Chain A
Amino acid sequence: MNHLPLIIKREYLTKVKNKSFIVMTILSPIIMIVLIAVVAYLSQLNNDKVRTVSVLDESGLVQETFKKSDKTTYHFLENMSLEEAKLLSKETASYGLLHIGKFDTIETVSDHVKFYSEESPSLTLISDLENKLEKTFTNIKLQQQDIDIDLINASKIRVEIAQESFEGEKTSKIDSFAKLGFGIAAGYLLFMFIIIYGNMIMRSVIEEKTSRIIEIIISSVKPVQLMLGKIIGTSLAGITQFVIWMIFGGLLMTIVSLVIGINLFDTATSQQEFMQLAPQGSGFNFYFESFKTAMQNLPLMNLIIAFILFFIGGYLLFSSLYAAIGAAVDNETDTQQFLLPIILPLILAVYIGIFTVIEDPHGTVSTVFSFIPFTSPVVMLMRIPFGVPLWQQLVSLLLLIGSFMFTVWFAAKIYRVGILMYGKKPSYKELIKWIKY
């Protein structure tokens, strides 16, 4: 008799109907949105503060350089010594004092610029000042040498390297960003999914053990069936939760951004970045267009299929181990020592993914780790947007399926024995022994 659908249904329904599950499903996106909104609001608040910077310009070169901006006003001090200026800016509670001394050459002047302040100043402010001074001093230097600044500005040429693969596929930097985004999102999603729902499976196994219903159940169904039913049912509940989060989160984001007027989808910086990438930058339209082509340039079909296959394979590989751990112990506190060897390769995979795949998606490290079963789902998912040869994907997938079948077999063995064992916490040695039972 095949009871798998029945078990899946029960596991799914009990998970979905569980109060804490429902609360989490509804609350999580709200909490996330509130958090993001608060962070966005706070950083805006911070940006809104206007700083006053006192400037003591003894060289007389930078009168024109500092204009009042949204964030900073400049207060020029005149006819006083440095000590007086320091005292004054302290009294007037200026953010700091910029001191430009008087020297013969422009090089010496620029070498002796100093900023005095109560606390160490913000990095952005300093680099902003540096930029402005650099520009002014360079212009002065150029003028001193009788060089036409307008001519130089007019002669500036921007280079934007267009990228194209040998097969004729056009790509751009935005493409790379999109690929990276996709890869990291997919890999990270899998990582989160495994940890959250793997734990849920483990707890559900422990629950059956502690409530002592397990022997009643397995007198009716094979332990393997029960285990698979649990894994599949819990995963379906997980997918349900994820989908609800996506929809709900998206809706909330839209509402919140409309209400508060903060564009949560793309912060100012990322927009700037994209703007800079645009060669003949024509605002939002260009950004949108190039993003669209970037999307089109992604190997979408491959991505979707690979995502589904590697997601399922990777998830089953790990979740069966979670089930085995649940079967081996009596309570959750005993699970720690067994969880570590599972979580380590996962974390390793995420870091390898983030650090090496960005650097070189087809380098040795990322290639090797995209074959090793315990890291391959995450690393491969991160690599695929950059185009991975089909044979590599297939070999990796086969390895994954092979080891997935092995872990399910292995987990089923431990599960079968473990669920009927009560009392002491087993050692690794005992777990190995159980396989022979």
Chain B
Amino acid sequence: MNNLLEVKEVSKNFGNFKALNKVSITVPKGSIFGLLGPNGAGKTTLIRIINQITIPDQGQVFLDGELLNPTHIKDIGYLPEERGLYKSMKVGEQALYLAQLKGLSKKDARTRLKYWFERLEIGDWWNKKIQELSKGMAQKIQFVVTVLHQPKLLIFDEPFSGFDPINANLIKDEILRLREDGATVIFSTHRMESVEELCDDIALIHKSNKILDGKLIDVKKQYKINTYEVGIRVNNKEILEQELSNKFDISEANFKTLEDELKLNIKLSETDKPNDLLSYLSSKGEISHFVELIPSVNDIFIQTVKNN
């Protein structure tokens, strides 16, 4: 079994509103899976279904090959987007309580909490009340509580919100380390640069339907635009630009260079080879810049959502 999680044709209606329409996703073991989509697309509903908070109208969810059932609660760690803690409860007590709800014994929970609190350098917060902590501090505790019971599947909904860049990096590193230790991560966020950086697989949900999924690299290939960003030093820029525009589809490019160069995006047709373009250009002048344009997740997101 290579997939930790399989969601099969899951649908969910709230009254007349269709929140999910036959959505299927597969999350490979040990991967970081980006669950993307505009606001109100149905991501949270899907996550809640995986957490057994909401029951789907149709479809099934399998975790590690088994149909999802209440014993799986201990296998999943969930950090919701709307998150908080009991304000008037002490940090330690609260963390112990939440850990015990996930099935840890009090003793185990205490040992592991000690470990994590030291690791994140928050050991001296144990007897503080949540209302005395800042938002970022509370977020750290929530993160600890989410991962404490060493679940197979971690679901993070906007995990970096509320963190300063240093702490966000800290949490990012912890997530990567957890993955190395064998956890699978589902990651829902609107920050495309984190998706770019972390995710192996993505799925895009829009208006209750899944409209795109796969390995991030495959998706990118699929959205390949065959366009190269080119910088070339020539004496007469206008003449070369004219020449090129006769042969290729060109547009203005914008990147930083040291000298005043001709900067263009050149789109090749199916038959053109980049090497041919390169040798053609090298005969015209000195090439300072030659890069294939890879669509960013951001571009893919916007393009796909707009087209649907």
Interface residues of A (CB under 8 A from B): 1, 3, 6-7, 10, 14, 18, 207-208, 211-213, 215-222, 420, 422, 433, 436-437
Contacts and interface: CB of A to CB of B under 8 A. Distances in A.
B88 interface: yes
Size category, B interface: 20 to 34
B61 interface: no
Interface of B: 14-15, 48, 51-53, 70-71, 73-74, 76, 78, 80, 82-89, 97-98, 100-103, 142, 145
A215 B80 contact: yes
5 cross-chain pairs, A with B, having the tightest CB-CB distances, nearest first? A212-B84, A220-B101, A215-B80, A211-B84, A219-B78
A10 B84 CA distance: 17
Nearest to A417: B14
Nearest to B131: A211
Of the listed residues A213, A217, A422, A433, the one surrounded by the most CB atoms of chain B closer than 10 A to its CB is A213
A1 B103 contact: yes
A211 B82 CA distance: 9
Contacts, number: 67
A219 B97 contact: no
Contacts of B142: 216
B74 A215 contact: no
Contacts of B100: 3, 6
B53 A216 contact: no
B86 A211 contact: yes
Contact of B51 (A10, A219, A422, A433): A219
A6 B89 contact: no
Contacts of A14: 86, 88-89
Contact of A218 (B15, B53, B74, B145): B53
Given A213-B85, A216-B78, A216-B83, 15 more contacts: A3-B100, A6-B97, A14-B88, A208-B86, A211-B85, A215-B82, A216-B142, A216-B145, A218-B53, A219-B52, A219-B76, A220-B102, A221-B101, A222-B70, A436-B15
Contacts of B87: 207, 211
17 contacts: A1-B74, A18-B88, A211-B84, A211-B87, A212-B83, A213-B83, A213-B86, A215-B80, A216-B80, A216-B84, A216-B142, A217-B98, A218-B53, A220-B101, A222-B70, A433-B15, A437-B14
Contacts of A220: 73, 98, 101-102
Given A6-B100, A220-B73, A220-B98, A213 B88 contact: no
